[in-house]
Structure 1
Amino acid sequence: MSSQPKPPLETALAALLEPLAQAMVAHGVTLGTATEALKKALLSAAENTSASPLSDSRASLLTGLHRKDVKRLRGLTDGAPEKRSSNAAALVISHWATSPEYQDATGTPRDLFRKGGEDGPGFDDLVRLARIDMAPGTVLNTLLDHKIVEAREAGDLRLLTHAFLASGGGAEQVAAYQATLSAHLRAATQNLLAAPSDARNFDRAVRYSHLSLESIEQLRQISEDRAQALLQDINALARTLQDRDEGGGHGGRFAMGAYVLPSPAKTAEKDPEEGDET
């Protein structure tokens, strides 16, 4: 039996996969489906990190995939990306919350009628401003269903929140789960693989234990309020900058996120640096 310690990433893998496995079991994703996805990801990673095209044999050596799998996976074609009403809804919310023509004198998003009038543009104009290839009614129904927009007795529409929070475990919530976690994991992975002289992404967390329920609730409320305010400020600035940069042929992307994890009960997960910022 080998006495060599496992590589650190191999040791961390189980903890990293545990929450994902919980989501998989809840959504009926079996080992076969997960294995196929992992094979595709390994092959893609090997190809994207190689300075030159990889032969099937070389790809097999780097990933541990059988050459037949490599050949089969390379022959697959991805289907057209599925339109997500959640993406459209998020864009509409962003414009409604940040575009000057949709704000009142206090900077609060205006209540809108479907059609524009003397008071300014309406909801349908908002959908066109966001350049969404969907019918305004479809986008509106999504916002109403998720209680992000309220239809008022006067016939106008009121924005209730600045964030699209999909619920119910459906396709929209899974899409949000994918977008949020993949961006964070990509940032953390880039840091993990960065050379000592390379710039690193900002990725910090504060973790504490031995807290009472009252303390956890206080920290949760303050964290959520301040994170939401910061995200709204960044969203408004990013919208302004994107409008300024439009037409310049730019392709740069930016992502920022925040998470809060209150855990009133002691869990099996161990934080190596609890009581500190890391």
Structure 2
Amino acid sequence: MPTNSKPPLESALAALLEPLAQAMVAHGVTVGSATEALKKALLTAAEQSSDATLSDSRASLLTGLHRKDVKRLRNLDEDTPERRSCSAAALVISHWATSPEFQDESGDPRELTRKGGEDGPGFDDLVRLARIDMAPGTVLKTLLDQNIVEQNGAGGLRLLTHAFLPSGGGAEQVAAYQATLSVHMMAATQNLLAEPGAARNFDRAVRYSHLSAESIEELRRISDERAQTLLQDINALARKLQDYDHEGGHTGRFALGAYILPSPDGTQEDGE
């Protein structure tokens, strides 16, 4: 019988890329743009895998890229305004939802004015305390455009959600898609590459088939509620710890995510 001589990861690559390819087709990303992104990703991975600075020739050898591509890609700036805007918006939401000075007596995010007043600090103070290197007006515009913050006739600002979930398929939504998916893939990749006996990231899923639409809806609802509670609790704790650790100049990072994929029509791939 014929055997598959491909490495396991190479055999799995098409399935791993299929959801990404669906997003690419929907957003008009062609193979040329995808190839450029892959080149940049390979170069970044090669540089991160080496303890010393890689020469252009060594990077070319590890990745298969032409040395001219290596030199060109090393001079690209991938820190887009949309990515910075999404990060800033998420931090503002986190502080607004969890910081005592921005909460009312019941513990909910209170309505803010731009400059603050007798009730406490305002939105501009919030941006400053969240240590965001962007103009408060720029951050506010993002939140208003995404219907995350509502402004009343008197200028008061009200937080409508505790999560940054941009809508409309625009640049902010793509940036959020990137941030969420890339972190999950990094956690899984570190597990894949971990040495035997090494500590591994928590990355597990529950999967069931042969369920009715009613059962799937019940599972989705309960999962939504419990996952949201966990994320809000960790968010509040992480903000407090970060405020304390910031004085010591620490730069460590932590990420926790959750995903739910209901499929009443049974079309999703389950890998089994």
* Alignment TM-score > 0.5, same fold: yes
TM-aligned CA deviation for residue 167 of structure 1: 1.2
Q: Provide the rounded CA distance (Å) in 1 between the counterparts of 2:28 and 2:79.
A: 22
Check whether the contact 2:59–2:70 (CA below 8 A) recurs between aligned residues.
Answer: no
SS in 2 for 1:107: coil
SS of aligned partner of 1:150: strand
When structure 1 is superposed on structure 2, of 153-162 and 104-113 the one drifting more is 153-162
Change (3 A) 1:50 1:108: same
Question: Is the contact between residue 94 and residue 235 of structure 2 (CA under 8 Å) also seen in structure 1?
Answer: yes
Given that 1:90 and 1:163 are in contact with CA atoms closer than 8 Å, whether structure 2 keeps it comes out as yes
Give the residue type in structure 1 aligned to 2:231. L
CA-CA distance at 1:54 after TM superposition: 4.7
Moved more, 18-27 or 133-142: 133-142
1: distance between equivalents of 2:135 and 2:54?
Answer: 44
Give the deviation of 1:44 after TM superposition.
2.5
> Quick one: distance in 2 between partners of 1:106 and 1:268?
42
1:97 aligns with 2:97: yes
Report the counterpart of residue 161 of structure 1 in structure 2. Answer: 161
Residue in 2 that maps onto 1:222: 222
The 1:269/1:231 distance shift into structure 2, 3 A limit, reads: same
Contact 2:60 2:70 in 1 (8 A): no
Q: Does 1:70 align with 2:67?
A: yes
Q: How high is the TM-score relative to the length of structure 1?
A: 0.89
Equivalent pair of 2:97/2:103 in contact (CA under 8 Å) = yes
Amino acid at match of 1:222: I
Q: Would you say how many aligned residue pairs link Structure 1 and Structure 2?
A: 269
Distance 2:153 2:257 in 1: 36
Map of 1:150 onto structure 2: 150
Cα deviation for residue 74 of structure 1 reads 2.5
Contact 1:115/1:123 (<8 A) preserved: yes
Q: Write the distance in 1 (CA, Å) between the matches of 2:59 and 2:116.
A: 57
Residues in 2 aligned to 1:153 and 1:9: alpha-carbon distance in whole angstroms = 56
- Please state how far the C-alpha of 1:72 moved relative to its aligned partner: 2.8
Aligned identity (percent) is 74
Contact 1:43 1:70 in 2 (8 A): no
1:276 corresponding residue in structure 2? none
Segments of structure 2 that go 5 or more residues without pairing to the other structure are none
TM-superposition CA deviations, 1:78-103 (whole Å, max 9, x none): 22723332222211111110111111
Preserved contact between residue 101 and residue 120 of structure 1 (Cα < 8 Å): yes
In the other structure, the counterpart of 1:121 is: 121
User: Would the alpha carbon gap of residues 146 and 57 (structure 1) be closer, same or farther in structure 2, given more than 3 Å must change?
Assistant: closer
Q: Which amino acid aligns with 1:70?
A: R
Residue 58 of structure 1 deviates from its aligned partner by 4.6
After superposition, the C-alpha distances for 1:13-72 in whole angstroms (9 at most, x for unaligned) are 111000111111111111111112212222332232235555555544433x25xx1343
User: Where does structure 1 lack aligned partners over 5 or more consecutive residues?
Assistant: 273-278
Aligned ranges for residues 1-278 of structure 1 at < 5 Å?
Answer: 3-52=3-52, 54=54, 58-63=58-63, 65-66=64-65, 69-76=66-73, 77-79=75-77, 81-83=79-81, 84-267=84-267, 269-272=269-272
Taking the aligned partners of 1:192 and 1:19, their CA distance within structure 2 comes to: 20
User: What CA distance in whole angstroms lies between the structure 2 residues aligned with 1:90 and 1:188?
Assistant: 23
Aligned equivalents of 2:153, 2:69: Cα separation in 1: 58
Query: Which whole-Å CA distance do the structure 2 matches of 1:56 and 1:93 have between them?
Result: 42
1:275 maps to which residue?
none
Question: CA 1:105–1:267 in structure 2 vs 1: closer, same or farther (change >3 Å)?
Answer: same
State the alpha-carbon separation in 2 of the partners of residues 177 and 112 from structure 1: 29
> Which letter does structure 1 place at the counterpart of 2:170?
G
Equivalent position SS for 1:207: coil
AA at the equivalent of 1:136:
P
**C-alpha displacement at 1:110, in angstroms?**
1.1
